[in-house]
Structure 1
């Protein structure tokens, strides 16, 4: 996939109280279950899932489990003129 930002999805959270959550048994969770990064016994990120609940746009077209190698999170801040 590389660094192709044209494939990125920008979505705004609808409930700020559910924007980001960290649980000791999972990695970060965005929204209720919009993106949950799960870690299994091997310490790999191969138990991840997506379900649109707290963000405006759906991130994936399926609710199937998936794995990732790494992740980055960016905060976009509106620049005052």
Structure 2
């Protein structure tokens, strides 16, 4: 799978973390756990809004096994 590099359009929505759910990137990528922040991220979804590029072609929910976040300076 190829990486997607997308700049944020509105800095206030760049990245956030909900202590009971998980990280989210605007409304564009929400990595959510229905159980706890330490459980499986089994209810994740994407919808392009605050970033320049779409991450997925569908808004259907999906499961995330693992993720990494990088800051590019």
TM-score (norm 1): 0.82
Higher strand fraction (1 or 2): 2
The partner residue of 2:69 within 62, 67, 73 is 73
Query: Structure 2: any 5+ residue segments left out of the alignment?
Result: none
Specify the SS of the correspondent of 2:31: strand
Decide whether the 8 Å contact of 1:26 with 1:36 is kept in 2: no
Instruction: State the Cα distance separating 1:40 from its structure 2 match.
Output: 1.6
For the aligned residue pairs, the C-alpha RMSD in angstroms reads 1.3
Aligned positions of 1:2-17 closer than 5 A: 7-17=2-12
Q: Which has the higher contact order (CA 8 A, sep 6+)?
A: 2
Tell me which residue corresponds to 2:30: 36
Equivalent-residue separation in structure 2 for 1:65 and 1:30 (angstroms): 15
The number of equivalent residue pairs is 71
Q: Which 4+ runs in 1 deviate beyond 4 A?
A: none
Question: Normalization by structure 2: what TM-score?
Answer: 0.90
CA distance in 2, matches of 1:56, 1:21: 18
SS of residue in 2 equivalent to 1:46:
strand
